[in-house]
């Protein structure tokens, strides 16, 4: 596998750092491109193992570090610091990268995989830029939130007024993640909810670019984005024939232990989406690509992608 990095500059001068993994042999026949949108408080570099599997299966893989993350943030001290409108800007950056992929690989189908925060950005992408992609995989996602999200948004706005946009909010961090280990006994680390694989959790903790406390400005904009993405007037723009694969562990607190995943799938069904596939993995936690059964999960995604590009029917 060959790996390269490059940057894209947006209209406001922000430099976005991009990874590309592709076959080592330059004339290898590609079936498609997979664009990955990583989650909150992690980096695109963590997807290299999955990228290797995708490359072996005939795909080229692209992933950018989002605003306030990884090499796009520039240094550890700037992790989790965001300008206003970051949610929409991250979606725009993903669309810019899709355009770059299309320039590099004319006619090649592009699929978007979003994990966690990246899955919510992908949900916005689905109605803002639907014609750029041939399918979407949503990992560690969730459906429409209710009253508690509105409370969180109001609290984040109050924290911004009181402490400023760049304040690293232990309060909002606790509100978001504080209960995620509650069904795990015994608890070994604050991040046990990520995976049953202790080595993977330890790698996350040891990575200085993972696990940062984010700013009040981020939480305000993120909660606002979560309220926006499920408005009926936005969802109406999602093409009915856009294939969607939703996957999650049934012990993932982000998806309310499967309840939110089923609600999301039901919402898409009511919208009339014709190709929605859902899979809940028993015992799986939040990061299914880093779980103890990750080989199964990676193969399921590859099978789904192959079904889209090779016309081998529904998977």
Three-class DSSP labels, the chain = CEEEEEEEECCCCCEEEEEEEECCCCCCCCCEEEEEECCCCCCHHHHHHHHHHHHHCCEEEEEECCCCCHHHHCCHHHCCCCCCCHHHHHHHHHHHHHHHHHHHCCCCCEEEEEECHHHHHHHHHHHHCHHHCCEEEEECCCCCCCHHHHHHHHHHHHHHHHHCCCCECHHHHHHHHCCCCCCCCCCCCCCHHHCCCHHHHHHHHHCCCCCCCCEHHHHHHHHHHHHHCCCHHHHCCCCCCCCEEEEEECCCCCCHHHHHHHHHHHHHHHHCCCCEEEEEECCCCCCHHHCCCHHHHHHHHHHHHHHHHHCCCCC
pLDDT value at residue 218: 94
| 96, 62 Cβ separation under 8 angstroms | no
pLDDT value at residue 315: 40
- Output 175 or 313, whichever has higher pLDDT: 175
pLDDT value at residue 64: 98
* Nearest Cα residue to 42 out of 96, 116, 110: 116
| 211, 204 Cβ separation under 8 angstroms | yes
- The string of pLDDT tens digits covering residues 135-147 is 999 999 999 988 8
Which range is least confidently modeled, 115-119, 195-199, 222-226, 307-311?
307-311
* Nearest Cα residue to 285 out of 297, 277, 276: 297
Residue indicated by tokens 């090779």: 310
The pTM of the full predicted model, rounded to 2 decimals, is: 0.95
- The string of pLDDT tens digits covering residues 232-290 is 999 999 999 999 999 999 999 999 999 999 999 999 999 999 999 999 999 999 999 99
Q: What is the mean pLDDT of the chain?
A: 95
pLDDT value at residue 148: 85
For residue 206, what are the contacts with CB-CB under 8 A and spacing of at least 6?
A: none
- The string of pLDDT tens digits covering residues 192-218 is 999 999 999 999 999 999 999 999 999
Residue 313 scores a pLDDT above 50: no
- The string of pLDDT tens digits covering residues 160-199 is 999 988 999 899 999 899 999 999 999 999 999 999 999 9
> Mean of the pLDDT values across residues 107-123?
97
CB atoms inside a 10 Å sphere around CB 52: 15
Ordered by start, the domain boundaries in the chain are 2-144+231-310
Give the pLDDT band of residue 27 (cuts 50, 70, 90): low
Class in CATH terms, 2-144+231-310: alpha beta
- The string of pLDDT tens digits covering residues 63-113 is 999 999 999 999 999 999 987 789 999 999 999 999 999 999 999 999 999
């Amino acid at each position: 596998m060959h790996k390269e990095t490059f940057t894209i500059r947006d209209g406001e001068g922000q430099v976005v750092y991009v990874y590309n993994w592709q076959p080592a042999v330059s004339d290898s026949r590609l079936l498609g491109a997979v664009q990955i949108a990583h989650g909150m408080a992690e980096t695109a570099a963590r997807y290299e193992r999955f990228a290797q599997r995708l490359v072996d299966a005939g795909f080229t893989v692209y992933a950018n570090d989002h605003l306030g993350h990884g090499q796009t943030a520039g240094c550890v001290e700037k992790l989790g610091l965001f300008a206003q409108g970051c949610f929409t800007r991250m979606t725009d950056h993903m669309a810019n990268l899709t355009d770059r992929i299309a320039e590099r690989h004319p006619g090649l189908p592009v699929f978007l995989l979003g994990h966690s925060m990246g899955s919510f950005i992908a949900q916005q992408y689905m109605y803002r830029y639907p014609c750029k992609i041939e399918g979407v995989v949503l990992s560690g996602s969730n459906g429409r939130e209710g009253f508690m999200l509105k409370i969180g948004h109001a609290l984040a706005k109050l924290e911004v007024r009181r402490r400023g946009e760049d304040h690293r909010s232990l309060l909002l961090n606790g509100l978001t993640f504080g209960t995620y280990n509650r069904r795990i006994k015994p608890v070994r680390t604050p991040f046990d909810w990520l995976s049953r694989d202790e080595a993977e959790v330890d790698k996350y903790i040891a990575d200085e670019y993972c696990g940062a406390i984010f700013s009040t400005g981020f939480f305000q904009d993120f909660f606002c984005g979560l309220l926006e993405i499920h408005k009926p007037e936005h969802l109406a723009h999602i093409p009915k024939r856009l294939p969607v694969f939703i996957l999650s562990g049934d012990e993932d607190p982000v998806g309310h232990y499967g309840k939110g995943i089923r609600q999301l799938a039901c919402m898409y069904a009511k919208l009339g989406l014709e190709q929605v596939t859902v899979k809940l993995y028993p015992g799986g936690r939040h990061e299914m690509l880093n779980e103890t059964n990750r080989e199964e999960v990676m193969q399921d995604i590859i099978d789904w992608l192959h079904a889209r590009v090779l016309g081998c029917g529904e998977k």
